[in-house]
Amino acid sequence: MFRLRVKEVIKNQGKTVGWVARKAGLSHSVVRRMVKDPNYTPQASTLLKVARVLKCSLEDLIEYIPEEEQEA
């Protein structure tokens, strides 16, 4: 499973959702959803725009959480 870390990256850089949205050419609601809903699955192109604006890698914006194997 993957979890978005956009909120943490924006906060650590001292930016705002509005600033990221304007610079990336995205709607405020899309960036806000990326921040508020860690399970939201944005398009790859959207993540790339955010990564470029924040000058970070995609790996900085996404956290992989291994799912525990269920016993049979």
Q: What is the per-residue pLDDT across 30-53, written as a single tens digit (0 to 9) for each?
A: 999 999 987 789 999 999 999 999
Domain 2-64 of CATH type 3.30.465.10: no
Q: Which amino acid is at 43?
A: Q
Average pLDDT (57-72) is: 79
Question: 2: helix, coil or strand?
Answer: strand
Assess whether pLDDT exceeds 90 at residue 54: yes
Question: Which pLDDT belongs to residue 23?
Answer: 98
> Hey, what are 51's tokens?
């990564």
Query: Residue 63 contacts by C-beta under 8 Å, 6 or more apart in sequence?
Result: 2, 3, 4, 5
Q: Is the dihedral of CA 52, 57, 60, 62 positive or negative?
A: positive
Mean pLDDT of the chain: 91
pLDDT at residue 51, as a whole number? 97
